Structure 1
Amino acid sequence: MHPFRSAHAGAWLSILLAALLALPAAARPQDPEDGLLPVTEAYRLGADAATPGVLKLHWTIAPDYYLYRGRMEFKPGPGVTLGAPSFPDGEKHHDEYLGDVEIYHHGIDASVPYTLAPGTTRLTLGVQFQGCHEVDPKICYPPHTEQLDLPVPAAGAATSAAAPAGGDPLGRALGTLGADKASAGGAALPAEQAFRLEALAQDPHHLLLRWTMPPGYYLYRDQTALRAPDAPGLALRPAWPAGGVPKDDPHFGKVTVYFGQLELPVAVEGDLGGRGRLRVEASFQGCQDGGLCYPLMTRALDVDLGAGAAAGGTPVETAPETRPAGAPAEESGLALALLLALAGGLVLNLMPCVLPVLSLKAVGLLESGENPARLRRHALLYTAGVLASFVALGLAVTGLKAAWGVQLQQPLVVAALALVMLAVGLSMSGVVQFGASLGNAGAALANRAGPAGDFFTGVLAVVVASPCTAPFMGTALAYAFAAPRLHALAVFLALGLGLALPFLAVGFVPALARLLPRPGRWMETLKQVLAFPMYLSAAWLAWVLANQRGADAVGLLLAAAVLLAMTLWWFERSRGRGAGARALLLPLALLTALPLYWLAGLPRPVAAAAAQSGIVAYSPARLAELRKAGTPVFVDMTADWCVTCKANEHTVLDTAAFRALLARTGTVYMQGDWTDEDPAITAFLQAYRSPGVPLYVVFPAGGGAGRKLPTVLTPALVERALTEAARR
């Protein structure tokens, strides 16, 4: 794509042109001389409503034809309510009109859950689909709709095929219905057969729970809770394996589910008091893929802590009061999390991603001289900007389940932040003055400082700090990621207070303020020197953008940077020249935003085919294979915008000593790149309750739970972890 062409506008014009061209072409499939089949012969649709609550569809696709996954729609008839349809993954295909799509060849099976209103005995709906002929003559059929009118089983009139049943009377009715049906013909199995649960003790403090499910059944991770009802002083801590599958559930949203067999290591924490047996109650919920969802189930298991024999689960009639899924560990209490957050925010001041903004703030403090009121105002406004930004981040984490630094996965945010850094640098270099100029020392300088500058410097400090993870921050953020909203917001406020603490101290402790040098003409030189870290930050963000969207994105960013420089230059030149000169600023600003608009439509570049030497690209399936084979694995979740990740790579992971350690211990180095959005990596982070990257997990050779390492690595720490993993 040409860097100065709108991707969105071009795509819509292409689609419109394709639709116009398809109109005469669509009339030709009836003509045998064209060699094209009628749409109903190219795509033969069959439907089966024998399973209560689930409509199963099958398309038989003729050779040289394909169907679009994203062009399938379902329109219910009277008395029919449809759930979210389920499709298999299609083939990746780049369409010249529609962009990156998924298509199907040969055939496709899909299922659509439904509910019928009382008295409705027929399942009526419209099924719309669209496909193309991929060899000469190449044409795309217009969207085609077939009307279905099917009889349904008597039980189908009162069923809902996909509603989760936790506390829902309709869901409980479905669970009863599934328990009364045989497994033949796709009907749901009884809950005891669909989800077999057993437990054994590896040692008194380590249990292994095993769910065995037939093909097509899955278990929700976050609807599972464990407790020891007869031992309230004990805590059961599950360590969820990384083999979960991300799923966009119509009722629970984005979740992680497990198919087949799930082996869940569980740590028993607390004083066992010499007991030889332990009663464990497990509450969980699962579904039949494309079928019904079972009510919340609770099973009791009597585990022999010494014999290591497996104990089968027995149903419990009433579900116990359970701890919410993902609740933080008791020992990581709010007070400890707040202390760690305060310390982490304080250390964050020393991280390289924050230093450029701190240099800007340092100039602001020096401007104030020894005027106490001036220093306090600088400190309070800067702190207000920091705290407001951290509250916004906290709301995003609790409301959207976002992660620390996740905003830098968005290329548009990276580009905009690079331009902000450039604008600040140009201001410090003297190209443009925002608000008051630095001028000379003295009272006039103090009186001309701008409060908005202090506040938004605090905002900018938080924005550029997000790629960094300082010591102590990991535990505090992990607590906030799983804690109740008010506790999470308190943790984020503590982080912000730690980040702002040095400037608060200078503003409110006169002895510290007197240590600052007196303002003078030398400050102008210092200000210009400190502009260069801003330029380096902009260059780093451009490098991140190149890894996300390729050379075209960098070209658009450079064009926007030139236009921004022109806009700021004219802003400075137009001072005192009247409204006519100022009127040119608006079109210049719009021109600056235009490359960013085009940048937002750029597709992701095709991933490199060859992996970096000695590194295995992360995938849940590959990790499961290595663990099954008894191979120790070191998993590194990283991102190009993560400064802490890059520091760890430079000091530990990209060294000859680390490569020799891998060879000596037989460990596979597996790396996941989270520079761009990746649902599989996001699921892994959530499984280990990590607030973001970096995340390092070591899986031992003999199986068992992975061990999560600190976010800041040292050679000794990694060597000890890999050596222990190889021995187990």
Structure 2
Amino acid sequence: MRFRSFGRLAARLLVPLALLLGAAQVFAQDTDNLLPVTEAYKLSTDTNTPGVLKLHWTIAQDYYLYRGRMKFKGGDGITLGEATLPDGEKHHDEYLGDVETYHHNVDASIPYTVAPGTTRLTVSVQYQGCHEVEPKICYPPHTEKLDLPLPAGAAQAAPGAPTQTLGSALSQLGGKSAASPGMDAAPLPAEQAFRFEALARKPNELLLRWTMPRGYYLYRDQTVLHAKNIDGVKLNPQWPEGTSKDDPHFGKVTVYFDQLELPVTIDGDLAGRKQLDVEASFQGCQDGGLCYPLMTRAVSVDLSGGSVSTGQTTAGPAPEMPPATQNSLDVSLWYALLLALGGGLVLNLMPCVLPVLSIKAVGLIESGENPARRRVHALMYTAGVLASFIALGLIIISLKQAWGSQMQNPIVVAVLALIMLAVALSMSGVVQFGTSLGNTGSSLANRSGPIGDFFTGVLAVVVASPCTAPFMGTALAYAFAAPTVNALLVFVALGVGLALPFLAVGFVPAVARLLPRPGAWMETLKQVLAFPMYLAAVWLAWVLANQRGSDAVGLLLVAAVLLAMTLWWFERSRSRGVISRVFVAVLLVLAIAPVYMLAKLPAGTNRAATAEGVVAFTPAKLAELRKAGTPVFVDMTADWCITCKANEHTVLDTDAFRAQLKQTGTVYMKGDWTNEDPDITAFLQQYHTPGVPLYVVFPKSGGAGRQLPTVLTASLVEQALAEAAKSE
């Protein structure tokens, strides 16, 4: 152990020495053909965006820069946030170990804030690179002192705004603790922290929307709206209820977190205008972090409706709202309810719901010819479905979560796998649920009670949520943008659609007569239908392996064995005393313990780009490709998304699709949302999609991205790629 410790210490001491020796080679070797450091790495700057310093290095041929050797320091009155850098080329350096390097060019984006009275943007930029062919040398670390003019609006904080320094953030923001959500992360550039867009609901009514990442908020009373270049027109905002906050500078204020949707009425004569220029000035903060200077965004709104205008500035062409989601607010409530009803019906056919349907199929058959029994089955199952959809809708609306996002939690996945296993063991005859101590020999019709029907409906909704059926996309998009009451009605319609087949069996005698008569064959059928449940548990174990690795599967298997033991002893303890029942509880606790340990396992790596020719999604890489005029096919997927896997099998994992990518020069970019990813979540929110899958094709010309349906066909994708490759 002493020799190992000595070896690690020696390695730490030798790395700086090796860098110095490498730098010394500049003077020891023939340097006639080497470029000066500022010509090998030409640095240019862009300060046009208030609050963001953009740097660009043009790297000469046969030279490269180290990602990890870049350092940035602000001058007097300048506070820098964390620099945003793209991923570099990974390789092993004999002196530095595992490193990332850049060739040809690289861009960096650094958010900054300024103290009052500061008029210049002064920043020290340090970097280091090497010449990779003979003579192979490394330059010493080089520092450039930047002294740049500040853009308009960023020279100082807005009057009365909190001091723009991270060090005073706690006192500025009302005594937030160091564990506040926003304090743990570096502040985002203003364009990313506060995404602003607008559309016309009616010719005299607008909807303005601010979308913020978790931990950011917007001041209500620091927001000013006015119509540009038109006299006599006034914009009247209808402010929704916000969150009350004690602010040390502004006193008691109202703020908005996550997303603000602001209806605005237009008073005045528009004189037949079809377009209105709107300017919004606003201010917001990172909760527990810094506050941004006053921001001003201008948008042109199409008063005919259906067109979303954005006031944000991004690096490269910004993905615009696709036609499929631009009209989400213009869809009528009745049409959205009809689509939701159809989507709920189709959910009955999805593979993720079929195992649960097998439970209800047996239950309905067991009810025999008794109409009252069928109606109880149907009503209790429907009650469970509707209650679950309403609860799910409230969670999604309040937390702004996407459809199926609970499957990103490994504990949820593990619990569902164990539930599937327990139900399958019950259907196989290992254990009987719903029977009392002295009712072991009861008839099949008495084995399932109303409570069992209710929770079967709950389970159906839980396992259905990873699926995005046809017709559901538009309905859910409407629900996310509509008022709360309308949104909940959409979720109720989804529940009615899912439960409708069982309601028909329970209340329509003609449908009920189609069911076979009960008999001895039902026990065999029940045991046969247990196997889809076992397969569902296997599928969930596979999802868990992709989320947390093989250790998670090991813990799940331990929990499964303990659960099987618990159910076995539960069945044996029916006619025994209290001690046997206590032992059942002990075994159940032991079965739960491995599931609890899953939360402590690290998340698995992103597997989206493991296939050849697939690029992992990052906003920076997408912006880089679009800036270069490259068509891009963006695929947002997840391992627990059944529709995603079906599309991959039929369209995206085929030789024909790969040939089309090559023919059109399109880059296939894939985002893996199996685990939580803030960048993918922001992309989904930008397109107002209810969840994965999401497919967007960005054209070569740099125009708006085209969103494809959730269910793909080969001809549809071929047409989209061909259109994206055209130059306009």
Query: Could you say which TM-score interval applies, normalised by the shorter chain?
Result: 0.5 to 0.7
Matched, 1:627 2:598: no
State the distance in 1 between where 2:609 and 2:504 align: 52
* Counterpart code for 2:535: L
Residues 236 and 699 of structure 1, relative CA distance in 2, 3 Å threshold: farther
Query: Which of 259, 280, 295 is matched with 2:277 structurally?
Result: 280
RMSD: 4.2
State the distance in 2 between where 1:654 and 1:592 align: 39
State the distance in 1 between where 2:82 and 2:692 align: 32
Matched, 1:667 2:669: no
State the distance in 2 between where 1:610 and 1:506 align: 47
Contact residue 193 and residue 213 of structure 2 kept, 8 A: no
Residues 114 and 424 of structure 1, relative CA distance in 2, 3 Å threshold: farther
Q: Give 1:247 deviation, angstroms.
A: 6.6
State the distance in 2 between where 1:428 and 1:685 align: 39
Contact residue 424 and residue 530 of structure 2 kept, 8 A: yes
Q: Give 1:279 deviation, angstroms.
A: 3.7
Q: Secondary structure at the match of 2:633?
A: strand
Contact residue 339 and residue 474 of structure 2 kept, 8 A: yes
Contact residue 113 and residue 160 of structure 1 kept, 8 A: no
Q: How does 1:148-187 map to 2 (within 5 A)?
A: 159-161=161-163
Q: Give 1:284 deviation, angstroms.
A: 5.3
Where does residue 552 of structure 1 map in the other structure? 551
Where does residue 225 of structure 1 map in the other structure? 198
Contact residue 220 and residue 285 of structure 1 kept, 8 A: no
Q: How does 1:65-84 map to 2 (within 5 A)?
A: none
Contact residue 617 and residue 671 of structure 2 kept, 8 A: yes
State the distance in 2 between where 1:640 and 1:87 align: 32
Q: Secondary structure at the match of 1:574?
A: helix
Where does residue 412 of structure 2 map in the other structure? 413
Q: Give 1:631 deviation, angstroms.
A: 1.0
State the distance in 2 between where 1:574 and 1:156 align: 72
Q: Give 1:681 deviation, angstroms.
A: 0.2
Q: Give 1:90 deviation, angstroms.
A: 12
Matched, 1:376 2:375: yes
Q: Give 1:328 deviation, angstroms.
A: 6.5
Q: Give 1:467 deviation, angstroms.
A: 1.1
* Counterpart code for 1:160: P
* Counterpart code for 2:280: S
Q: Give 1:420 deviation, angstroms.
A: 0.2
Matched, 1:640 2:611: no
Q: Give 1:377 deviation, angstroms.
A: 0.4
Q: How does 1:116-195 map to 2 (within 5 A)?
A: 159-161=161-163
Q: Secondary structure at the match of 2:574?
A: coil
Matched, 1:389 2:388: yes
407-416 or 582-591: bigger deviation: 582-591
Q: Secondary structure at the match of 1:331?
A: coil
State the distance in 2 between where 1:389 and 1:300 align: 40
* Counterpart code for 2:409: Q
* Counterpart code for 1:435: G
State the distance in 1 between where 2:297 and 2:657 align: 46
State the distance in 2 between where 1:658 and 1:157 align: 56
State the distance in 1 between where 2:157 and 2:298 align: 28
Where does residue 522 of structure 2 map in the other structure? 523
Where does residue 500 of structure 1 map in the other structure? 499
Where does residue 365 of structure 1 map in the other structure? 364
Q: Give 1:225 deviation, angstroms.
A: 2.8
Q: Secondary structure at the match of 2:480?
A: helix
Q: Give 1:335 deviation, angstroms.
A: 1.2
* Counterpart code for 1:399: S
Q: Give 1:647 deviation, angstroms.
A: 0.4
TM-score (norm 2): 0.62
Contact residue 634 and residue 696 of structure 2 kept, 8 A: yes
State the distance in 1 between where 2:256 and 2:675 align: 21
State the distance in 2 between where 1:621 and 1:481 align: 27
Contact residue 198 and residue 206 of structure 2 kept, 8 A: no
527-536 or 623-632: bigger deviation: 623-632
State the distance in 1 between where 2:418 and 2:574 align: 22
Give CA deviations for 1:143-171 in whole Å, capped at 9, x if unaligned. Answer: xxxxxxxxxxx9999542479xxxxxx99
State the distance in 2 between where 1:110 and 1:626 align: 22
State the distance in 1 between where 2:274 and 2:444 align: 76
Where does residue 45 of structure 1 map in the other structure? none
Q: Give 1:583 deviation, angstroms.
A: 1.9
Where does residue 105 of structure 2 map in the other structure? none
* Counterpart code for 1:348: L
Contact residue 638 and residue 671 of structure 1 kept, 8 A: yes
Contact residue 341 and residue 495 of structure 1 kept, 8 A: yes
Give CA deviations for 1:89-138 in whole Å, capped at 9, x if unaligned. Answer: 8999xxxxxxxxxxxxxxxx9999999xxxxxxxxxxxxxxxxxxxxxxx
Residues 610 and 349 of structure 1, relative CA distance in 2, 3 Å threshold: closer
Contact residue 114 and residue 157 of structure 2 kept, 8 A: no
Where does residue 98 of structure 2 map in the other structure? none
* Counterpart code for 2:216: D
Residues 114 and 545 of structure 1, relative CA distance in 2, 3 Å threshold: farther
Q: Give 1:603 deviation, angstroms.
A: 1.1
State the distance in 2 between where 1:91 and 1:665 align: 25
Contact residue 328 and residue 483 of structure 1 kept, 8 A: no
State the distance in 1 between where 2:687 and 2:641 align: 18
Q: How does 1:294-693 map to 2 (within 5 A)?
A: 297=296, 299=298, 329-436=328-435, 444-607=443-606, 611-693=610-692
625-634 or 638-647: bigger deviation: 625-634
Residues 451 and 162 of structure 1, relative CA distance in 2, 3 Å threshold: farther
Identity between Structure 1 and Structure 2 (%): 63
Q: Give 1:605 deviation, angstroms.
A: 3.3
291-300 or 519-528: bigger deviation: 291-300
Alignment length, in residue pairs? 502
Where does residue 196 of structure 1 map in the other structure? none
State the distance in 1 between where 2:456 and 2:396 align: 22
Matched, 1:249 2:216: yes
Contact residue 216 and residue 288 of structure 1 kept, 8 A: no
Q: Secondary structure at the match of 1:160?
A: coil
Q: Give 1:389 deviation, angstroms.
A: 0.6
Where does residue 72 of structure 1 map in the other structure? none
Residues 658 and 517 of structure 1, relative CA distance in 2, 3 Å threshold: same
State the distance in 2 between where 1:281 and 1:456 align: 51
Contact residue 699 and residue 706 of structure 1 kept, 8 A: yes
Contact residue 225 and residue 282 of structure 1 kept, 8 A: no
State the distance in 1 between where 2:708 and 2:281 align: 29
* Counterpart code for 1:344: G
State the distance in 2 between where 1:672 and 1:609 align: 6
Contact residue 424 and residue 534 of structure 2 kept, 8 A: yes
Q: Secondary structure at the match of 2:430?
A: coil
* Counterpart code for 1:415: A
410-419 or 600-609: bigger deviation: 600-609
Q: Secondary structure at the match of 1:280?
A: strand
Residues 406 and 455 of structure 1, relative CA distance in 2, 3 Å threshold: same
Structure 1 segments unaligned to the other structure (5+ residues): 1-53, 55-65, 67-83, 93-108, 116-153, 164-169, 172-214, 258-272, 306-311, 314-325
State the distance in 1 between where 2:385 and 2:285 align: 48
Give CA deviations for 1:407-445 in whole Å, capped at 9, x if unaligned. Answer: 1100011001000000000000000000139x99x9954
* Counterpart code for 1:386: V
Q: Give 1:374 deviation, angstroms.
A: 0.5
Residues 700 and 512 of structure 1, relative CA distance in 2, 3 Å threshold: same
274-283 or 337-346: bigger deviation: 274-283
Contact residue 384 and residue 454 of structure 2 kept, 8 A: yes
Q: Secondary structure at the match of 1:646?
A: helix
Where does residue 119 of structure 2 map in the other structure? none
Residues 455 and 113 of structure 1, relative CA distance in 2, 3 Å threshold: farther
State the distance in 2 between where 1:302 and 1:486 align: 27
State the distance in 1 between where 2:655 and 2:427 align: 42
Q: Secondary structure at the match of 2:575?
A: coil
State the distance in 2 between where 1:409 and 1:288 align: 28
State the distance in 2 between where 1:644 and 1:87 align: 37
